[in-house]
Amino acid sequence: MIIDCHGHYTTAPPALESWRDRQLAGIADGNRTLPTPAPQITDDQLRETIEKGQLKIQQARGSDVTIFSPRAAGMAHHVGNQKTSEDWSRVCNDLIYRVSEMFPKNFIGVCQLPQSPGVDPRNCIPELERCVNELGFVGCNLNPDPSGGWWKEPPLTDKWWYPLYEKMAELDVPAMIHVSSSCNPCFHATGAHYINGDTTAFMQLIQGNLFKDFPTLKFIIPHGGGAVPFHWGRYRGLAQMLKKPLLTEHLLKNVYFDTCVYHQPGINLLAEVIPVDNILFASEMIGAVQGIDPETGNEYDDTKRYIDKLAVSEEDKRKIFELNARKVYGRLDAQLKKRGLI
**Annotation marks residue 17 as catalytic:** no
Determine if the peptide bond prior to 286 is cis (ω within 30°).
Answer: yes
**241 binds a second copy per the rule CB under 8 A:** yes
- Tell whether residue 30 is a contact of a second copy (CB under 8 A): no
Is residue 93 involved in binding a second copy (CB under 8 A)?
no
Q: Out of 43, 120, 272, 308, name the contact with a second copy by CB under 8 A.
A: 272
Q: Give residue 126's region: left, alpha or beta (phi > 0; psi -120 to 50).
A: alpha
Inter-helix orientation angle 82-102/43-51, to 10°: 70
| Residue 275 in the binding site for a second copy (CB under 8 A) | no
List the one residue from 4, 145, 316, 322 that touches a second copy (CB under 8 A): 145
Binding piece for a second copy, criterion CB under 8 A, among 28-36, 67-75, 282-290, 312-320: 282-290
Angstrom CA distances, 196 to 145, 191, 222, 241, stand at 11, 9, 11, 22
CA angle 138–23–21, rounded 5-degree value: 95
Cα 106 to Cα 102: distance, rounded to the nearest angstrom: 9
Which lies closer to a second copy via its Cβ, residue 139 or residue 229? 229
Active-site position among 284, 299, 315, 322: 284
**Nearer CB in complex with a second copy: 92/279:** 279
Please spell the DSSP secondary structure of 70-105, one letter per residue: E-HHHH-TTSS-HHHHHHHHHHHHHHHHHHHHHSTT
Measured distance CA(173)–CA(329) in Å, rounded: 6
| Residues from 188 through 227 that contact a second copy (CB under 8 A) | 188, 190-192, 195-196, 199-200, 203-204, 206-207, 223-224, 226-227
- Of 87 and 258, the one with the shorter C-beta distance to a second copy is 258
Number of residues that bind a second copy (CB under 8 A): 57
User: Least distance to a second copy from the beta carbon of 213, Å?
Assistant: 19
Q: In the sheet where 3-9 sits, what is the strand order?
A: 3-9, 65-70, 107-109
Pair 148, 184: CB distance under 8 Å:
yes
Contact set for a second copy, span 295-314 (CB under 8 A): 295, 300-301
Among 4, 94, 153, 322, binds a second copy (CB under 8 A): 153
Sign of CA dihedral 216, 222, 256, 8: positive
By CB under 8 A, the residues from 35 to 54 that bind a second copy are none
DSSP lists the bridge partners of residue 9 as: 70
Catalytic residues: 284
Residues engaged in binding a second copy (CB under 8 A): 144-145, 149-151, 153-155, 184-188, 190-192, 195-196, 199-200, 203-204, 206-207, 223-224, 226-227, 229-238, 240-241, 261-263, 265-266, 268-269, 272-273, 288-291, 293, 295, 300-301
